[in-house]
Chains A and B, each alone.
Chain A
Amino acid sequence: MNGTVVKNQLIFDFASGILGPAKSLFASTYLQLNSNASKISSTFENMLGENLMDNENIHPKNLTYSDCINSENIKSASNLKDPVTSFFGNLNNLDWKQVYKGFKEYTASIDDKDELKLIKMDPGVSVPLHSHGGKEYILVLEGSFCDEYGEYSKGDIQINDQRIKHTPIASKDTGCVCLSITEKDVIFFGKYGSFLNLFTFIKSFFKQK
């Protein structure tokens, strides 16, 4: 899979406004942390802005400019925070679930088909070899990790699908905190693979409530 194509697709879809809430929050954070992604999105938004500039006119029937000046529906901007803080608050105060030693996660309660999670890995901790049922998007918020394909640090994004098996390891110095989107549950391989798969399978029953 060509990673760049999928990353740009995410940016284009964000700019068009067709992402669900989970991916939308994920993409906002990506644009905030990654200046290259931010520039691409700004260029693309300018292209769409030109579409608006040249768009056809369909006149509103009962709307005048003074209706807009006197409208009371729009509040002026409140205190603006970065996407992760405004959605999750202080990450240290979250009720993190330990999946195994050195690996914690926090699942956002968000009404969407995609699952949005925060992942925290202690320095040097690794994830058993696994692949993914659907696509998985990982964005590094703090620290870094590496796997068979490269090293990923703050603002980097990794997109995995069924064809990719990997063993991510958190940096020995910093560990890492990541934001992740999973479209479907991951499939584990190796020694603990069947156990972890069973665990995910059982967990899915509780999620259906």
Chain B
Amino acid sequence: MEKSNLSNLMIRIQKNRDEMAFSEIFDFFAPKVNAYFIQNKIKFESSEELTQEVLSTVWVKSNLYDSTKSALSTWIFTIARNKKIDFFRKNSKINFQEEDIREFLYQDREVDPIEGNEAKKQIERINNELDEQQKIMIKMNFFENKSHKKIADELEIPLGTVKSRLRHILTKMQEFLR
């Protein structure tokens, strides 16, 4: 699905509480969010519960989403990531406070608007500069949070090579993110 399509669906939810628009967003993101939890070593039953929480949050808190600040996929990623953090932690008192803190951060913090600006150019530049394997390694390391050992096994390259390549990628990203 096109990104602009997703934004339009989101606007229909924000303005009219449009359930059909939500069902399309659900169909597109629920399997991807569910896969994210499974990639992060969460068992299927729990992953499904967490996916429900993420998509419910999208529905209930739709007004928090600001299309000038981030792509919809980024907003949904941060919700899923936060549910993952809460899932792996036991102290619910902190989790409750943290949820408020994260929402505050999303609304308050200073971010360049995403369209036609520096941030978008940066992302394009990073995407152009990194080769396929480097992109896969970023995904495995930061999105799926796999250990270096696991990355080595899956890509069938030595552990030392994984470590040095990741270090190289990070150095490269430092240059882009200045």
Contact = CB atoms under 8 A, between A and B. Distances in A.
A167 interface: no
Interface of B: 3, 19, 22-23, 26-27, 29-36, 38-39, 44, 47-48, 51-53, 55-61, 64, 69-71, 73-78, 80-82, 84-85, 89, 91, 94, 97-98, 100-105, 107-112, 114, 118-119, 122-123, 126, 138-139, 141-143, 145, 170-171, 173-174, 177
A82 B84 contact: no
Interface residues of A, number: 62
Contacts of A63: 30, 48, 51-52
Interface in A1-51: 4-5, 8-9, 12, 15-18, 21, 24-25, 28, 31-32, 35, 38-40, 42-51
A82 B55 CA distance: 25
A74 B104 CA distance: 17
Given A21-B89, A31-B109, A60 B119 contact: no
Contact of A87 (B26, B97, B109, B114): B97
A58 B108 contact: no
Interface string A46-84: 111111110111111111111111010111111111110
A93 interface: no
B22 A45 contact: no
B35 A56 contact: yes
Contacts of A28: 98, 101-102, 105
Contacts of A21: 89, 91, 94, 98
Contacts of B35: 55-58
Contact of A47 (B51, B56, B118, B126): B126
Contacts of B19: 65-66, 69
A31 B105 contact: yes
A78 B103 CA distance: 10
B59 A69 contact: yes
A44 B70 CA distance: 11
Nearest to B118: A39
Nearest to A12: B142
A61 B99 CA distance: 28
A86 interface: yes
Contact of A52 (B80, B89, B108, B111): B80
A173 interface: no
Nearest to B24: A65
Contacts of A49: 70-71, 73-78
A43 B124 CA distance: 10
A44 B177 contact: yes
A99 interface: no
A74 B56 contact: yes
Nearest to B50: A60
B52 A83 contact: no
B38 A58 contact: yes
A45 B74 CA distance: 6
Contacts of A61: 44, 48
14 contacts: A5-B174, A21-B94, A38-B110, A42-B119, A43-B119, A48-B81, A49-B70, A49-B75, A51-B143, A52-B33, A52-B73, A53-B73, A68-B56, A71-B53
A65 B89 CA distance: 27
Given A55-B35, A74-B60, 13 more contacts: A16-B81, A21-B91, A48-B143, A49-B78, A50-B73, A50-B123, A51-B77, A61-B48, A63-B52, A68-B26, A73-B53, A79-B100, A80-B108
A48 B77 contact: yes
A25 B104 CA distance: 13
Contact of A39 (B51, B64, B89, B112): B112
